[in-house]
Amino acid sequence: MGKGKSNGFAVIFSSALILAPLPLFASTADITAEDAISAAELAPDYQNDLFPEHDSLRPNVNFWVDVYTKYDENQAIIHDSVNLNIRYEVVNLDDAYPRATRRYAARQLTLRKRQIADALNRLARQGGRCENEGECRIAALFGNTPDARVYREASDQLRVQYGLKSRFKQGLVTSGQFMPEMRKIFERYGVPLDLLALPHVESSFNVKAYSRVGAAGIWQFMRSTGKHYMKINGQTDERRDPLIATEGAAKFLRDNYVALESWPLVVTSYNHGKNGMAHAKRIHGDDIAGIIANYDGRAFGFASRNFYCEFLAARRVMQNPEQYFGNIDFHSPLEFDVVKLQNHVRILDLARHCDINEIARLNPALHKNSLTGRAVLPRGYALRVPRGTAAAFAQVAPYNPTPEELAQTAPMQRMVPRPAQPANKDYGTTTPGGGYVVDSGDSLFSIAQKHNTTVAALKGLNDMGRRSRIFPGQKLILPAEAASHIEPPAPQPLTVAAVPSSPQPAVTPAPSAAEKGHSLVADYSTLFAYMANRVAVLIGGSNLRQPAATAPIAAAAAAMPSQPQTVSFPVPAPEKERFRFTKTEERHGVISVLPEETLAHYAEWAGVSTRDIMRLNKWRRPRLQLWGAVKIPLDKAGADVFERRRIEFHQSLYKDFFGSHNVTEVDDRVLHRGQTAWTIWNGQREVPLWLISLYNEGKQLNRLQAGDILRVPVVEKKAF
C-alpha cells in the first residue's frame, strides 16, 4: 500500500461549527425527519469548545498523553488510580525482567505494588515521617503531609498502566486510509469531528480489533448495539468495516446526544452507557468534571471515570501528531470503485478479474465464508473493487444460490420448532406449482413451521425485507420446491458505479415485535445445537450435534468444495440447563452466574434496574461470583423472556468469537499444587473464560483442586 506524507492530516478536527447532518451517500432530498437534527439544536450549549478540558482534569489528561506518546508497551507505570499525577515508578520490563514472559513480569509488578502499599501504610502509621530513601520519595509525592488518611487511601489505589506509544503511532498511520471519508460521514450527520479520536481510545485504530467479550472493529461495537446500526449476518459483519462502522458510530453518538444533550457526557456514555450517564446527569447535571470527581455510581469505575480524559488526550495528540512523533507517513486514502451487484454472486467467480486478497482488503466486513465461496453475496450488495477494474466485473455470470445459501443473506434467525399445529386449522393452500397461497391468519412463522423451513429461507426466496408483510392471496415460493420451480434469472450486466468514496451501506430496519420475540420458545437445547452446527460450518468442525432442523445447512456444508482446515476439535454445545433458572417462585427466580455476565446484563434482560436486583439479594454492593446464585426479579419480563435474552447474549459471544478464531487443539492440564483454573487462564488470556467452561461442562472452575484436569482449548486467529 502506498503511503503519503503527513501534510493535510496535522489538524483534522474542528469543534466550532456543527454542520446540519445528511445521510451518508444520500442527496439532500433523501433526508428524513428522523435523520435531521439542525445545527441550531446542537450548537447553543457550547460557544467555544464542545469538549472542555477543565483545570481539574488536566493532570489526568497529561497522564494519558504520556501513555500514548512517551511510554511504550515494554514500560509499566505504577500510579495512583485517582490522582494520575502521582506516579510511583516506571518499570522498563526489558531491563528489569529480560527474557521473562509477560505473565511473569505481571506477577513481579504485583509484588512491586505490594511493596509500595506497605511503604504507604508505614507512612500512615508514622504520620508521614519517612525512614529510608524509598519512603521519603513516596512521601514527597504527597507533599510530605502528616495526614495518615492520605497515605492509607493511596495504599488501596495502586494501579499499573502499560505504555501505548507504538500502538498509537501505528493507529495514526493506519487512520490515513479512512480519515478523509470518516470526516465526511461525521459532517453529514452533524457530529463533531473531534469524536473521530474515539477509535484511538477504543482500538488504537486496529481494523482487526476484537475483544474477548465480543466487541469488534475500530469502534468496538458489541453485537447487541451494532445490530441496530449495521448489518451483521452470515455473510458480513459491518462492525469490521471502518467506513460503514463510522456511519453507525455517527448515528449512535447522535442518538446519545439527543438523550443527554452534552457532548462530554456522550463521550463518557460510549464507555459507561447512555442510561448510566443519564443517571449521573440527574445527580450532577452536565458538569463532566463534577461527575468524574464526585459521581459514585456502582459501575462507574476507573475505565468510565477516565474515558473522557483519555479522549481529550487522544484528541490533543491527533491535532498535533508531529509534536509528539515527528514526521508521520500516513497511509494514503483508500481508492476503489463500487460495483452494485444485480445478481447473486460468489466471490470465487470474481477471482479471474481481481485478487481475492484485494477484495478482502477493500471489504473487511466480509466473513471468511463469503471470501471462500461458502456464502453468496446478494443482489444489491455494494462491493468495493480496485480503482479502474469495475468495468471488468460487468462480465461476471450470475449465480443461482440454493435455498440454504439464500437463507444466509438475512441475519440468523434465533428460532426453534414449535409444537405441531392443530390438524383442524386451515393454513392456506399449496398450489400445484409448488407455491403457497397465503390465507387469513397466516404468518411467516406458521408457514415456515408447516413446511419445515425457516422465516429467513422464505424471505430470501421471495425477496422480502425484514419488515415485509404477507397478505391473504399472496403466493409464496417454498424452499422445498425452489430448485425445481424457480426459474433462473436472465443474465444481466452488473450496475457499475465508479466512485472514489465508500459504498452506501444498507440500513437495517429494526425488527418488529413479532420478529423479536413472538416466534421464540424455550427449547434451548435445540437452539444451541443449531448454533453449534452453524459454528461447525464456520470453522470446519464435523462432530457437533446436528438436529433435524439444521439438516439443510449441514447438507449444504457437505456439498461445498473442500477447503484446507486447521480445526480438528469440535466445539461442544452448551447444555440447556446451563441457561435456565435453577428455581423460580412467584415473583423471582434463581440463576447461576456464567462467565461474561454482569449485573447490568441481568437488569437489562429482566427489564429492571441493578438496584432492584441488589435489593432483592440484600446486597450493599454487587457480589457476583462465577457459578454463584443470584435472585432475579421476574415482575417485568418473566422467566421465558429473561432466558431468551440470556441465551441470545451467549449465542452472540459464540458466533462473534468463531467468526475470527479457530480451535486448533485441546490441551488437558492436570492442576498441580498451588495451581487453580484462574492461574492457568491468566496465562491463556486469548481464550475467553466462557469457552474454557464449555470444554469443562459440569465442572465449577472455582472449585477445581490439585489433581483435577482442566481442558483448555488452544485458539488462533483466522487469516482473513
Task: Check whether 408 has a pLDDT greater than 90.
Answer: no
Looking at residue 119, its pLDDT comes to: 94
pLDDT tens profile 260-301: 999 999 999 999 988 889 999 999 999 999 999 999 887 898
Task: Check whether 400 has a pLDDT greater than 90.
Answer: no
Domain check: are 448 and 478 in the same one? yes
Task: Check whether 484 has a pLDDT greater than 90.
Answer: no
Looking at residue 534, its pLDDT comes to: 39
Domain check: are 86 and 232 in the same one? no
Average pLDDT taken over every residue of the chain: 74
Residue 638 belongs to a domain: no
Domain check: are 174 and 314 in the same one? yes
Q: Average pLDDT of 220-238?
A: 86
Looking at residue 570, its pLDDT comes to: 65
Task: Check whether 531 has a pLDDT greater than 90.
Answer: no
Domain check: are 357 and 457 in the same one? no
Q: Average pLDDT of 677-705?
A: 75
**Whether the Cβ atoms of residue 260 and residue 45 lie closer than 8 Å to each other:** no
CATH number assigned to the domain comprising residue 259: 1.10.530.10
Helices (H), 204-301: 223-226, 242-260, 263-272, 274-284, 288-294
Tell which wins on pLDDT, 706 or 364: 364
Residue 648 belongs to a domain: no
pLDDT tens profile 89-124: 999 988 888 877 878 888 899 999 999 999 999 999
Block residue for cell numbers 464456520? 538
Main-chain phi, psi angles of 332, to 5 degrees: -70, 150
Looking at residue 475, its pLDDT comes to: 74
pLDDT tens profile 295-350: 988 789 899 999 999 999 999 999 999 999 999 999 999 888 888 887 778 777 77
Q: How far is CA 599 from CA 299, 591, 614, 624, in A?
A: 9, 12, 9, 7
Looking at residue 418, its pLDDT comes to: 33
Rounded to the nearest 10 degrees, the angle between the axes of helix 242-260 and helix 274-284 is 30
pLDDT tens profile 422-473: 333 333 444 444 567 787 677 877 787 777 777 767 776 666 665 567 777 6
Tell which wins on pLDDT, 543 or 246: 246
Model confidence band, residue 552 (pLDDT cutoffs 50, 70, 90): very low
Domain check: are 673 and 694 in the same one? yes
Task: Check whether 480 has a pLDDT greater than 50.
Answer: no
pLDDT tens profile 7-32: 333 333 333 323 233 232 232 233 33
Domain check: are 45 and 103 in the same one? no
At which of 132, 162, 192 does a domain end?
Answer: 162
Looking at residue 402, its pLDDT comes to: 57
Task: Check whether 374 has a pLDDT greater than 50.
Answer: yes
CATH number assigned to the domain comprising residue 689: 3.10.350
Residue 520 belongs to a domain: no
Q: How far is CA 376 from CA 347, 531, 719, in A?
A: 7, 20, 20
> pLDDT above 70 covers what percent of the chain?
71
Domain check: are 256 and 348 in the same one? no
Q: Average pLDDT of 645-655?
A: 83
Residue 623 belongs to a domain: no
Domain check: are 171 and 261 in the same one? yes
Rounded CA-CA distance 189/253 in Å is: 10
Structural domain tally of the chain? 5
Q: Which domain holds residue 457?
A: 404-487
- Cell of residue 491, nine digits: 443474465
> pLDDT above 90 covers what percent of the chain?
32
Domain check: are 46 and 100 in the same one? no
Task: Check whether 673 has a pLDDT greater than 80.
Answer: no
Residue 447 belongs to a domain: yes
Tell which wins on pLDDT, 483 or 475: 475
Block residue for cell numbers 456543527? 18
Looking at residue 233, its pLDDT comes to: 79
CATH number assigned to the domain comprising residue 454: 3.10.350.10
Looking at residue 405, its pLDDT comes to: 52
Looking at residue 577, its pLDDT comes to: 77
Q: How far is CA 33 from CA 37, 42, 229, 575, in A?
A: 8, 16, 17, 47
Model confidence band, residue 690 (pLDDT cutoffs 50, 70, 90): confident
Rounded CA-CA distance 39/19 in Å is: 6
Residue 588 belongs to a domain: no
Domain check: are 296 and 433 in the same one? no
Residue 451 belongs to a domain: yes
Ranges 371-385, 461-475, 587-601: which has the least confidence? 461-475
Dihedral of CA atoms 211, 221, 510, 260 in degrees, nearest 10, equals 140
Task: Spell out the residues 6+ positions from residue 197 whose beta carbon is closer than 8 angstroms to its own.
Answer: 13, 311, 314, 315, 318
Ranges 72-81, 157-166, 272-281, 614-623: which has the least confidence? 614-623
Residue 597 belongs to a domain: no
Domain check: are 255 and 288 in the same one? yes
Task: Check whether 154 has a pLDDT greater than 90.
Answer: yes
Domain check: are 132 and 260 in the same one? no
